[in-house]
Amino acid sequence: MNFSWKKILLWSLPLLVVFFFIWQGLLTTNNSDVSQNISSSRMTYGRFLEYLNMGWVKKVDLYDSGHTAIVEALGPDLGNRVQKIRVELPASAPDLINKLKQSNVDFDAHPNRNNSAIWGLIGNLFFPLALVLLISFLFRRSNNTPGGPGQAMSFGKSKASVQMEAKTGVEFSDVAGVEEAKEEFQEVVTFLKKPEAFTAVGASIPKGVLLVGPPGTGKTLLAKAIAGEAGVPFFSISGSEFVEMFVGVGASRVRDLFKKAKENAPCIIFIDEIDAVGRQRGTGIGGGNDEREQTLNQLLTEMDGFEGNTGIIVIAATNRADILDAALLRPGRFDRQVTVDIPDFNGRLAILNVHSRNKLLNSQVSLKAIARRTPGFSGADLANLLNESAILAARERKDSITILEIDKAIDRVIAGMEGLPLVDGKTKRLIAYHEVGHAIVGTLLKHHDPVQKVTLIPRGQARGLTWFTPSEDQTLISRAQILARIVGALGGRAAEEVVFGEAEVTTGAGNDLQQVTSMARQMVTRFGMSDIGPISLENQSSDPFLGRSMASGLEYSDGVATNVDLQVESIVQNCYQQALQLIIKNRVIIDRLVDILIEKETIEGEEFRHIISEYTKLPQKELYISHC
Ligand code: ADP
Ligand code: MG
Ligand code: ZN
């Protein structure tokens, strides 16, 4: 694998420089032998002469061209043991040698060993040489790239962006809730393991499979699982990494990727976010993007370039198959599509099962209950949820994860971090009325999702929150349900108006109103749920490159447009009146609920319904899901 070699080489450059400086440092500190012979004790020159006169000096070694001496002396002062003592000699100590001779002292002069100079020379020659060699080596390698010469350094190489995993360690059992996709891929795995069975009868397996699905649904995981099950290497690159500033880089990366894959066949090539390169060509404002088109062309060429049975399978992932270039989807390329969707109840349960394997859950925690509370969660959301609750449990020093942590983690995943509780005061009271307004309207409407809890503890952007237990199927919603949601969303503002008067209503309802308007408009323009009739007035497959507002040019007359606005207005007005009526009629209950909410900060759905049922009859909700 030459890419890891290159990494090592690149890293060794700074290391070499560092070593060079350390080397120089060593040379300067190391240039005197005295330092090695050092004795800890020293004495003055005068003292030394005294010792000499007393005849206590036995041996003298001179260093540093006679500037330093290590003296071996023996005397009563020194505990009658021979000791080595260091003496700095004055620059002119003329008769010292004579004196030593006279006193019959054994003396010896040590010239400066000038090894250090030689070493310094070698070092100074060696390091620049090594540097030059290294750099030239790097250049030579990059010129070998298929991108050809003239490319600076290593841009053309796929750097670290091509990742190879010899063993992914992921198995099909790690991917849950996507049974159909797994079945599709079983065949691919068999092919990678035993290609003979297919080639014998002349069958060729698809070269490319396209995984389509929203983020976090396990596309990457699934691709890894295929490699893991088949026991083949896994090459991955992300489409956005192909698209670079420099023209031609992307194309050369594609070449490089396929070259490496061929050397390692059988294997899996995984191209994430293929829409980054694979969009329809020749689109977009200001013409096409040359770099992207070149890359895409290269990809198409490479996919045509290898035979069906070389054992390379290209798996690509995207969350928008509709914008891909048609050429990519032709037979012989990504002709198989596998959809991976947001999991349903059973899927979520299966995913929770996989991810709770290594977590210590309290025996009272029911995965079913969690799965029921999390419609719309992707696999990644669920994995994140369990991890968050494990972190919370660890923080509280519990020995297992309880339903409390799970609840907190769900809230956090949906609505963001919890803030500090509000201080008592008018604002808090107003927010309490607003939330209770949502909650009571939601509870009293037959078709509204049931309240799960009302809380005054801020979270994310919201200062208070009313949680509803969503029904399982969020894709098929009836007209009555949408209307109920609109009334419920207006309940907050309605309560503010009834309790505090028209002049006192706040900006707190801004978000609610946005949702209300969007729901009402869609009823009219998309779902044919207004007096205009069953007509779709919105172009759904708008051009992805122009941005929504530019693309969805009006395809109907001004008269119809006015009518749409009128319809939207009438829906919203009707719903608001309904909300006002409900608030006015139940004012007594609302006042009581607000008092409780301000005192307790949170009211659970069960308790909420219980209090209301003391005053009025609750509607029988068909979608009712018991609180977990
Ligand atoms: P995608 O590529 O579709 O955006 P990933 O495969 O990267 O999603 O998923 C991210 C993480 O979420 C995975 O590593 C895994 O932990 C978890 N996950 C997602 N889908 C599933 C699934 N179907 N089964 C188990 N875990 C999943
Ligand atoms: Mg992914
Ligand atoms: Zn609100």
**Is 494 inside any structural domain?**
yes
Give the nearest ligand 1 atom to 380 CA. Answer: 12
Integer angstrom CA distances of residue 420 from 404, 417, 423, 428, 456: 19, 10, 9, 13, 10
Please indicate whether residue 220, judged by its CB atom, sits closer than 6 Å to ligand 1. yes
Which ligand number lies closest to the CA of residue 488? 3
pLDDT at 263: 87
Which ligand number lies closest to the CA of residue 239? 2
Q: What pLDDT, in 10s, does the model give residues 425-466?
A: 888 999 999 999 999 999 999 999 899 899 998 888 788 888
Rg of the chain, C-alpha, whole Å: 40
Please indicate whether residue 170, judged by its CB atom, sits closer than 6 Å to ligand 1. no
Tell whether 203 and 138 lie within a shared domain.
no
Last residue of a domain, one of 311, 339, 367: 339
Nearest-angstrom CA–CA distance, 264 and 245: 29
Alpha carbon of 431 to ligand 3 centroid (Å) = 9
% of the chain surpassing 90 pLDDT: 32
Q: Give the residue-averaged pLDDT of 564-589.
A: 95
Tell whether 540 and 514 lie within a shared domain.
yes
Alpha carbon of 381 to ligand 2 centroid (Å) = 13
Tell whether 403 and 362 lie within a shared domain.
yes
Most confident of 170-179, 501-510, 569-578: 569-578
Last residue of a domain, one of 339, 373, 397: 339
**Is 396 inside any structural domain?**
yes
Residue 494 has pLDDT above 60, yes or no: yes
Please indicate whether residue 319, judged by its CB atom, sits closer than 6 Å to ligand 1. no
Measured by CA distance, the residue closest to atom 17 of ligand 1 is 380
Residue 628 has pLDDT above 70, yes or no: no
CB 602 within 8 A of CB 456: yes
**Is 69 inside any structural domain?**
yes
Tell whether 101 and 121 lie within a shared domain.
no
Residue 435 a catalytic site member: yes
Please indicate whether residue 347, judged by its CB atom, sits closer than 6 Å to ligand 1. no
Tell whether 60 and 171 lie within a shared domain.
no
Most confident of 78-82, 405-409, 547-551, 619-623: 405-409
Please indicate whether residue 339, judged by its CB atom, sits closer than 6 Å to ligand 1. no
Please indicate whether residue 218, judged by its CB atom, sits closer than 6 Å to ligand 1. yes
Residue 153 has pLDDT above 80, yes or no: no
Q: Give the residue-averaged pLDDT of 611-626.
A: 75
Nearest-angstrom CA–CA distance, 548 and 555: 14
Tell whether 448 and 504 lie within a shared domain.
yes
> Which neighbouring-strand residues pair with 615?
none
pLDDT at 624: 43
**Closest alpha carbon to 248 in 146, 138, 162:** 146
Q: Of 134-143, 182-191, 463-472, where does mean pLDDT reach its minimum?
A: 134-143
214 is in an annotated binding site: yes
376 is in an annotated binding site: no
Helix 558-585 to helix 587-600 angle, to the nearest 10 degrees? 80
CB 280 within 8 A of CB 268: no
Residue 8's pLDDT band, with cuts at 50, 70 and 90, is low
512 is in an annotated binding site: yes
Nearest-angstrom CA–CA distance, 513 and 497: 14
pLDDT at 334: 86
**Is 437 inside any structural domain?**
yes
% of the chain surpassing 70 pLDDT: 81
pLDDT at 612: 94
pLDDT at 491: 96
Which uninterrupted H or E stretch holds 59? Answer: strand 57-63
Report yes or no on whether pTM surpasses 0.75.
no
Tell me, what CATH number does 247's domain have? Answer: 3.40.50.300
Q: DSSP letter for 201, please.
A: T
End-to-end CA gap in the chain: 53
Q: Give the residue-averaged pLDDT of 483-510.
A: 94
Tell whether 576 and 465 lie within a shared domain.
yes
**Per the residue annotation, which of 435, 496, 601, 604 is the catalytic one?**
435
Q: What pLDDT, in 10s, does the model give residues 372-391?
A: 888 889 999 999 999 999 99
Residue 170 has pLDDT above 80, yes or no: yes
Q: What pLDDT, in 10s, does the model give residues 263-288?
A: 888 889 999 988 888 777 665 555 55
67 is in an annotated binding site: no
Long-range CB pairs of 7-13 (<8 Å, 24+ gap) are 7/160, 9/134, 9/137, 9/138, 10/138, 12/134, 13/131, 13/134, 13/135
Tell whether 539 and 586 lie within a shared domain.
yes
Please indicate whether residue 176, judged by its CB atom, sits closer than 6 Å to ligand 1. yes
> Which neighbouring-strand residues pair with 465?
455
194 is in an annotated binding site: no
Measured by CA distance, the residue closest to atom 25 of ligand 1 is 175
> Which neighbouring-strand residues pair with 83?
73
Measured by CA distance, the residue closest to atom 6 of ligand 1 is 218
Please indicate whether residue 356, judged by its CB atom, sits closer than 6 Å to ligand 1. no
Question: Encoding tokens for residue 151?
Answer: 């490319």
Residue 520 has pLDDT above 80, yes or no: yes
Count structural domains, the chain: 5
Q: Give the residue-averaged pLDDT of 136-148.
A: 55
Mean predicted lDDT score pLDDT of the chain: 81
Which ligand number lies closest to the CA of residue 441? 3
Tell whether 376 and 486 lie within a shared domain.
no
One-letter amino acid identity for 330?
R
Tell whether 65 and 197 lie within a shared domain.
no
Residue 145's pLDDT band, with cuts at 50, 70 and 90, is very low
Q: Where are the alpha helices (DSSP H) in 457-601?
A: 479-500, 510-525, 548-551, 558-585, 587-600
Tell me, what CATH number does 598's domain have? Answer: 1.20.58.760
Tell me, what CATH number does 399's domain have? Answer: 1.10.8.60
Measured by CA distance, the residue closest to atom 14 of ligand 1 is 221
**Is 300 inside any structural domain?**
yes
pLDDT at 445: 94
Residue 495's pLDDT band, with cuts at 50, 70 and 90, is very high
Residue 360 has pLDDT above 70, yes or no: yes
Residue 608's pLDDT band, with cuts at 50, 70 and 90, is very high
pLDDT at 553: 54
Alpha carbon of 332 to ligand 1 centroid (Å) = 28
Nearest-angstrom CA–CA distance, 46 and 258: 83
**Is 623 inside any structural domain?**
no
Residue 214's pLDDT band, with cuts at 50, 70 and 90, is very high
216 is in an annotated binding site: yes
pLDDT at 167: 82
pLDDT at 547: 44
Alpha carbon of 506 to ligand 3 centroid (Å) = 11
Nearest-angstrom CA–CA distance, 148 and 247: 13
Q: What pLDDT, in 10s, does the model give residues 74-122?
A: 777 777 777 888 888 876 666 777 777 777 788 887 766 556 667 777 7
Last residue of a domain, one of 295, 324, 339: 339
**Closest alpha carbon to 262 in 159, 105, 358, 146:** 146
**Is 624 inside any structural domain?**
no
Which ligand number lies closest to the CA of residue 490? 3
Please indicate whether residue 211, judged by its CB atom, sits closer than 6 Å to ligand 1. no
Q: Of 193-197, 339-343, 570-574, where does mean pLDDT reach its minimum?
A: 193-197
Tell whether 531 and 492 lie within a shared domain.
yes
Helix 479-500 to helix 510-525 angle, to the nearest 10 degrees? 150
219 is in an annotated binding site: yes
Please indicate whether residue 382, judged by its CB atom, sits closer than 6 Å to ligand 1. no
- Domain span at residue 67? 34-109
Secondary structure (3-state) at 60: strand
Long-range CB pairs of 384-392 (<8 Å, 24+ gap) are 384/413, 385/409, 385/410, 385/413, 386/352, 386/355, 386/356, 386/359, 387/355, 388/412, 388/413, 390/359
pLDDT at 548: 43
HEC per residue, 134-176: HHHHHHHHHHCCCCCCCCCCCCCCCCCCCEEECCCCCCHHHCC
Q: What pLDDT, in 10s, does the model give residues 289-337?
A: 677 788 888 888 888 877 666 788 899 999 888 888 888 888 878 888 8
pLDDT at 242: 73
Q: Give the residue-averaged pLDDT of 184-197.
A: 85
Question: Encoding tokens for residue 567?
Answer: 């319809």
Tell whether 148 and 20 lie within a shared domain.
yes
CB 586 within 8 A of CB 616: yes
DSSP for 383-421, written as a single string: HHHHHHHHHHHHHTT-SSB-HHHHHHHHHHHHH--B-PP
Give the nearest ligand 1 atom to 354 CA. Answer: 25
Of the residues 170, 172, 221, 274, which should be mutated to test ligand 1's pocket, given the most ligand atoms within 8 Å of the CB? 221
